[in-house]
């Protein structure tokens, strides 16, 4: 305990920097574990309109660029855009966009 007091007395900034770095590292480790466990149990989820493209890519373990052709080159579509948003911008039913996404994923998996 005296070592910690001496560090605080003599090197406050250094000790605060170390504690901050340790907390950030801990937070990132927890996030890694949570996402790893979550997506280990959520593989190949049934597609729904609320799902963003990034979520679909992670769930189906494909590169998000594989899903880019499904967007039809529309501006403002990125990995955060949901399937329902894409369908609305393309004036198509959500089910049709979901089928296109699944077809792109299956084509990519067939290439591997």
pLDDT tens, residue by residue, 33-48: 999 998 888 888 899 9
The whole domain housing 35 covers: 2-41
pLDDT tens, residue by residue, 70-103: 887 777 778 888 999 999 999 999 999 999 999 9
Please choose, from the candidates 107, 110, 57, 51, the residue with its C-alpha nearest in 3D space to the C-alpha of residue 81. 51
Q: Domain check: are 65 and 102 in the same one?
A: yes
8 A C-beta contact, residue 87 and residue 49: yes
pTM over 0.85: no
Say if 48 falls within a structural domain. no
pLDDT for 110: 87
Mean pLDDT of 6-26: 94
Q: Domain check: are 35 and 68 in the same one?
A: no
pLDDT band at 12 (very low <50, low <70, confident <90, very high): very high
How many structural domains are present in the chain?
A: 2
Q: Domain check: are 60 and 91 in the same one?
A: yes
């Amino acid at each position: 305990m005296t070592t910690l007091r001496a560090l605080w007395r003599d090197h406050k900034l250094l000790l605060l920097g170390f504690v901050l770095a340790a907390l950030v590292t801990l937070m990132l480790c927890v996030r890694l574990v949570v996402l790893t466990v979550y997506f280990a149990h959520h593989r190949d989820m049934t597609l729904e309109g609320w799902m963003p493209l990034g979520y679909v890519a992670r769930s189906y373990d494909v590169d998000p660029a594989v899903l880019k052709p499904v967007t039809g080159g529309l501006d403002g579509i990125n990995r955060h855009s949901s399937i329902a948003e894409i369908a609305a911008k393309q004036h198509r039913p959500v089910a049709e966009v979901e089928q296109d996404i699944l077809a792109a994923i299956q084509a990519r998996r067939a290439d591997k």
